[in-house]
């Protein structure tokens, strides 16, 4: 049970790196990363998407007023980030931590409002049913979103061996899935006939060749394209300060130089073939 008078955690747990078992971007030392007991977790070193917003890869526990909810979130997120449950959940990608933080916070604050504290041993099916009705009462909340929010109590049960304070002691919702509880209907399985063996076999064979035989050429082509695109960008940038007439003269000269080089090398001019 987690209460406002939370027992002091062991210092060893507080100092444990949050990203204890995930790959890191080059240049980051795991010893310098956020620790379990920190007020803020920065998971950016394990997010490989360059366009990831900082607010999506950080966790600010100080934004949670109730200490019981705060510590429950800390315990749950640490388990999700570092524990792999085969057949149920893979480790949570650090770039998705904000979504799970918000969903778990919603459920834990509901429990806190109902019970006065975050006490997993006092949570029963009646409270879960109340939470489901509360979620479905929102007119703008679609069943698919309700199903995602209902995954939290199911996860508290699945991760119970890794959640000493908030693991759910019973199977929620009579083992019904969150989608069924939310009233979300899945699209039926694709009934299109299977691709015949005489078609899928050569297709798979050629697909494997892209890995076993053509990979080097594909990567080389990608590098060449990137060089050409970088060269093009540099030329455009160098022409920006010129007038239209001078810029057109320079562009024509580049084209003429290119055609002359092809002629000297005995090569033709690349053209786009007729697609008709």
- Nearest Cα to Cα of residue 153 among 185, 175, 184, 186: 175
- Tell whether 273 is covered by a domain: no
Q: Are residues 48 and 153 in the same domain?
A: yes
Q: Are residues 220 and 132 in the same domain?
A: no
Low-confidence ranges of the chain (pLDDT < 70): 1-11, 174-175, 182-190, 272-276
- Tell whether 110 is covered by a domain: yes
Per-residue model confidence as pLDDT tens digits over 117-126: 898 889 988 8
- Whether the Cβ atoms of residue 128 and residue 172 lie closer than 8 Å to each other: yes
Number of CB atoms found within 10 A of residue 257's CB: 10
Q: Are residues 171 and 217 in the same domain?
A: no
Q: Are residues 145 and 228 in the same domain?
A: no
Q: 């494997």: which residue's tokens?
A: 208
Q: Are residues 81 and 212 in the same domain?
A: no
- Tell whether 2 is covered by a domain: no
Q: Are residues 127 and 205 in the same domain?
A: no
Burial of 191 (0-12, 13-18, 19+ CB in 10 A): exposed
The boundaries of the domain holding residue 112 are 11-182
The model's pTM is: 0.61
- Tell whether 226 is covered by a domain: yes
SS3 18: coil
Q: Are residues 208 and 178 in the same domain?
A: no
Domain count, the chain: 2
Predicted confidence at residue 274, as pLDDT, reads 58
Q: Are residues 105 and 216 in the same domain?
A: no
Q: 């083992």: which residue's tokens?
A: 175
- Tell whether 68 is covered by a domain: yes
Q: Are residues 132 and 73 in the same domain?
A: yes
Q: Are residues 106 and 223 in the same domain?
A: no
Q: Are residues 143 and 213 in the same domain?
A: no
**Cα 276 to Cα 274: distance, rounded to the nearest angstrom:** 6
Per-residue model confidence as pLDDT tens digits over 136-160: 887 777 887 888 888 899 899 999 9
- Tell whether 104 is covered by a domain: yes
What's the helix, strand, coil split of the chain in %, to 5? 60, 5, 40
Q: Strand ranges (DSSP E) for 71-185?
A: none
Predicted confidence at residue 23, as pLDDT, reads 80
């Amino acid at each position: 049970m987690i209460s406002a008078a939370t027992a002091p955690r062991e210092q060893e747990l507080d100092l444990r790196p949050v990203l204890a078992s995930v790959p890191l971007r080059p240049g980051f030392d795991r010893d310098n990363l956020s620790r379990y007991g920190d007020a803020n977790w920065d998971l950016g070193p394990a997010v490989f998407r360059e366009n990831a917003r900082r607010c999506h890869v950080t966790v600010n526990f100080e934004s949670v007023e109730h200490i019981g909810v705060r510590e429950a979130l800390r315990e749950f997120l640490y388990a999700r980030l570092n524990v792999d449950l085969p057949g149920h959940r893979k480790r949570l990608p650090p770039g998705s931590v904000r979504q799970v933080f918000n969903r778990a916070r919603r459920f834990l604050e509901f429990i806190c409002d109902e019970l006065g504290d975050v006490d997993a041993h006092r949570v029963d099916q009646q409270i879960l049913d109340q939470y489901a009705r509360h979620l479905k009462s929102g007119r703008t909340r679609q069943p698919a979103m309700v199903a995602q929010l209902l995954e939290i109590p199911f996860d508290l049960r699945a991760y119970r061996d890794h959640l000493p304070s908030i693991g759910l002691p019973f199977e929620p919702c009579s083992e019904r899935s969150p989608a069924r509880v939310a009233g979300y209907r899945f699209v039926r399985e694709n009934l299109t006939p299977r691709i015949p063996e005489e078609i899928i076999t050569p297709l798979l064979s050629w697909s494997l060749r892209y890995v076993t035989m053509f990979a080097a050429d594909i990567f080389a082509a990608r590098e060449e394209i990137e060089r050409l695109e970088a060269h093009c960008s540099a030329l455009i940038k160098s022409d920006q300060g010129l007038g239209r007439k001078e810029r057109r003269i320079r562009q024509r000269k580049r084209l003429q130089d290119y055609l002359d080089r092809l002629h000297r090398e005995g090569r033709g001019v690349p053209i786009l073939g007729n697609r008709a």
